[in-house]
Amino acid sequence: MIWGYPFSWVNRRGSAAIGSTGVSVGTSGVVFSFRNHAFLNANYRGTVFVNLRQAIPTGTTTTLPILFETNGVTQAVTKFGGAALTVADVAGTGVYQLWFERDTNTLQLMTGIV
C-alpha cells in the first residue's frame, strides 16, 4: 500500500498492445510468437491487448493449451481460476484483453471476453 491508498497503481504508462507474428501447432500446445524484445526491461503489471493475427489451423485439437513465445521464452496463458486457455477458448483472430503480472508470471485472459 502506497500513501495510504488501499490499491496499487497499474498501467503507469498506459496499456501495452502487441500483435502476434506467427502461430505453430505442436503436440504440447499452440504457440503464438511475438517480436523479440517486445517487453525488454518492462516490469509490467496491468492490461495487455494482444492481437492474434493468425488463425489456428483448422483441425487442431481443441484441448491443446495456448502458449505465447518471445525471445525463446514460452508463457502459458490462463483463464479465470488458473485453468489453461485452450484452442476451444479462442474464438478466432482479433484483439484479446489479458492481465499480465511479471512478479507472479501470470498471463490471464480477462473474464467475460470469451
Whole-number Å distance between alpha carbons of 66 and 6: 34
Whole-number Å distance between alpha carbons of 10 and 114: 23
Q: In the β-sheet with 45-52, what is the strand arrangement from edge to edge?
A: 73-76, 66-70, 30-34, 16-25, 45-52, 94-101, 106-109
- Split at pLDDT 50, 70, 90, the class of 16 is confident
Give the residue, 63 or 102, on which the prediction is more confident: 63
| pLDDT of 93 over the 60 cut | yes
- Split at pLDDT 50, 70, 90, the class of 83 is very high
Burial class (CB in 10 A: 0-12, 13-18, 19+), 83: exposed
Task: Tell me the CA distances in angstroms from 53 to 17, 18, 40, 64, one per residue in order.
Answer: 13, 10, 22, 19
Give the residue, 113 or 17, on which the prediction is more confident: 17
Tally of residues, the chain: 114
Note the pTM of the prediction, 2 decimals.
Answer: 0.84
